[in-house]
Chains A and B, each alone.
Chain A
Amino acid sequence: MTNVNSRKVTNNIFLVILIVLAVLSLFPVLWVALSSFKPQSELFRVPMTFLPERWTLENYASAVSQGNFVRYFLNTVFVACTSTVLSVLVNIMAGYALAKYIFPGRNIIFGIMIATLMVPLQVIMIPIFIQLRNLGLLNNLWGIIIPPAATPTGIFLARQYMVNLSNSMIESARIDGAKELRIFVQLILPLSQPIIATITIFSFMWRWNDYLWPLIVITDNDLMTMQQALANFVGQLQINWSNLLAMTTISIIPVMVVFFAFQRFFMTGITAGSVKG
């Protein structure tokens, strides 16, 4: 009895702590989103109110009509989607090769790929810039689509998942005379749907939220992405907060939609990375 009681007390204490933390966790996002629906005159008015007194879409209208906003949005959609498709393809193939074939150097290759976690873009941005210039990929959306497509995390997730697929299944397909490519396309890909979904979601989110790649590669105003646009907007001397908050909210929505639609894949993605390392 005492045990049940003390458990109840603990639960209630935790519940209070968790509710406070949950409010702290959500407040900034809600505050930005709600403020973006306030008319400019209400934004910094004293006394401040949590909810807009008068809901308005005028900030959105002026943000969208401003300069290149729609262009930035479409650029980001294009980059995030293309890069995600490429990333899934490239990482799944590599993960499969590393998980299901025995060949000399396979562990070394995998080790090197994982070790590149320690060489993030931030460390090699200067030579990357030069490399992309030599390849003619500066000021070219493909310059922010192709290079980040192969990620250590993606390969890790793919390999981790595929190691657990049955060997005998692959071998019996071989005995039936199936070619390697056919085994991959018709047998492995359908079985890998969960990990494909996970890599798709993470890749989309990373590319959507990315700032540094576009910053290095894109200087042409017509090719910029949302994050760049947001950062440039903040860089102005006088920040137009009403517009900025509307733009920020728009930039957050796609990722939120993806999250709520595919929540369980988010969790498996992070989990797979931590269970064995």
Chain B
Amino acid sequence: MKAKKDGSDVRIRTKGNFNQTLAPMLFLLPNMIIFLLFIIIPLFQGLRMAFMDWGIFVEPQFIGLENFKDLFHDEVFLITVKNTIVYSFLTVVLLTVVSLCLALMLSRNSMKGERVFRAVFYIPSLLSMIAVGIAWRFILGDELGIINYVIRSITGGPGVQWLTNGTLAMMCVIIVSVWASSGYYMIMFISGLQAIPGELYEAARIDGSSAWSTFWRITLPLLKSTVLVVLVLATIASFKAYELIVTMTKGGPGYATKFIVQQVYQVAFQEDRMGYASAMSMILMLIIGIFTLVQFKVAGKDGQYD
């Protein structure tokens, strides 16, 4: 809250009093209209649809928990849930570790070219996930990809089925996701690291503590709120992943890399079962909510997000 003393007399004396109440409302109005029309109302609409039988050519009809009951026997949906959670968990963990390591190496101010490296690692974050998927599909292709070309010329044997073996395909999608976004989170970590007072490191050095214990005793505890932000943002981002697999694997082979969002899109817009797909969306939102809350509870005792 702002100090009230100078604000309040000005308010009494100026005849702008009315304007000052109205102005913020008007400034907020366009934003609130957009939020209301395109987030809040759709959110409630989606909730409602999850309990209905709804398609473009079907008369909408309230069916209670029917959709949710069906979901628990829907094998494809359950596979996409499992895939999404596995993908998100591994991606977030790897992403956090990799971007933190990059940040630690690039925020020591003791090496020439730190800025150049930062820019280089950031470049993949500029690409659309559609382009990322295309690039890696080109590189990982079974017959014609450069990686298999190199493997074949060294070993003389056959190439690796990067994108046609289910487990490998999932692994590739995860690694490519880490490749694509670690630069972004690296920048966040760098700014967090720079906010840690240098005297603390100086004191640790005088006490003769090793780099390892300095990291665990000083760096990590003071970086807690940045870690939390990175975890939350990366988790949300990974649960909504969709574009990458559109161009990289198309969800395949089979259902190996199919995520909830892709299934929702297909059921809603290609099979025209919008109520049922809305129920899936609500489950997705629930999962995102649970993961976010858990992170706040575990890591966020004193980290704030406001």
Contacts and interface: CB of A to CB of B under 8 A. Distances in A.
Interface stretch (B17-25, B65-73, B85-93, B158-166): B17-25
Interface string B268-295: 1100001001100100110011001000
Given A22-B120, A25-B124, A131-B45, A11 B102 contact: no
A90 B187 contact: no
A21 B27 contact: no
A263 B45 CA distance: 41
Nearest to B304: A277
Nearest to B248: A234
Contact of A230 (B37, B179, B247, B285): B247
B247 A234 contact: yes
B128 A120 contact: no
B191 A270 contact: yes
A206 to B, nearest CB: 10
Q: Tell me the dominant secondary structure on chain B's binding face.
A: helix
A157 interface: no
A64 B188 CA distance: 38
Contacts of B304: 276-277
A256 B292 CA distance: 32
B62 interface: no
Taking residues whose C-beta sits less than 8 angstroms from the other chain, chain B's interface range is 35 or more
A98 B19 CA distance: 16
A1 interface: no
B38 A131 contact: yes
Contacts of B37: 131, 135, 147
Nearest to B145: A44
A98 B2 CA distance: 12
Contacts, number: 283
A97 interface: yes
A273 B188 contact: yes
Interface string A239-277: 001001100100110011001000100110011011111
B119 A125 contact: no
Given A90-B30, A123-B285, 19 more contacts: A29-B127, A94-B31, A96-B27, A97-B23, A97-B24, A113-B31, A120-B236, A123-B288, A125-B268, A126-B46, A150-B30, A171-B6, A179-B16, A184-B23, A205-B126, A211-B130, A212-B242, A231-B130, A256-B123
Interface of B: 1-3, 6-7, 10, 13-14, 16, 19-21, 23-25, 27-28, 30-32, 34-35, 37-43, 45-46, 49, 102, 105-106, 110-111, 117-124, 126-139, 144, 146, 149, 153, 179, 183-184, 187-192, 195, 225-226, 228-230, 233, 236, 239-240, 242-243, 246-247, 250, 261, 264-265, 268-269, 274, 277-278, 281, 284-285, 288-289, 292, 303-306
The 8 closest A-B pairs by CB, nearest first: A209-B128, A127-B42, A101-B24, A180-B23, A97-B27, A127-B45, A274-B188, A94-B31
